Amino acid sequence: MVAGALGAIGVLHAVWMRTPWPLGSPAEFADTVVGVGVERLPTPAMCAEVAVALGAASYLVGARAGVLPAVGPRLLRTAGAGAVSGVLLARGVGGLLLFGPAGPGRRIARTERFLRLDRRYYSPLCLALGTGAALVAARGA
């Protein structure tokens, strides 16, 4: 499930290289998904980099779990799945601790809509996927 979710999120990032789908405009996308003004949206190349990273993460977790063909040393897949877990857990915790409204006491200012969605969906999803990836890294197939 973790590998599938990471793959689907990677595909979504690839879609975002060309369109703000499923949102109606770049401004709505910026507010909802990134939490910034439209002038600070990620470039298509940045979206492609994230899509590739998520595809690699999906493979590493899936191969370590035994649901995708294993290529290369087992240690690499184990370490890779562990690294995926670390990144996702850091994003989940970091989103909850570091993102906030503009003003003193917060490190990374984000829009109110993004903050609401991050606390309700984005950070918890990262924590769940990170925990799942950790279990896969530790236990394997």
Q: What is the pLDDT of residue 106?
A: 63
**Whole-angstrom distance, CA of residue 3 vs CA of residue 135:** 12
CB atoms < 10 A from the CB of 57, how many?
25
Average pLDDT over every residue of 113-135: 97
Q: What is the pLDDT of residue 130?
A: 98
Q: What percent of the chain stands above pLDDT 70? A: 98
Average pLDDT, the chain: 94
Q: What is the pLDDT of residue 23?
A: 95
Q: Contact at 8 Å (CB) between 83 and 114?
A: no
pLDDT band at 140 (very low <50, low <70, confident <90, very high): confident
Q: What is the pLDDT of residue 29?
A: 96
What predicted TM-score, i.e. pTM, was given to this entire model? 0.92
**In the chain, what are the domain boundaries?**
2-139
Q: What is the pLDDT of residue 100?
A: 86
Q: CA of 44: how far to CAs of 14, 50, 110, 123, 141, in Å?
A: 8, 10, 21, 23, 35
**Whole-angstrom distance, CA of residue 5 vs CA of residue 24:** 24
Q: Is the pLDDT of residue 78 over 70?
A: yes
| pLDDT single digits (tens) 6-37 | 999 999 999 999 999 999 999 999 999 999 99
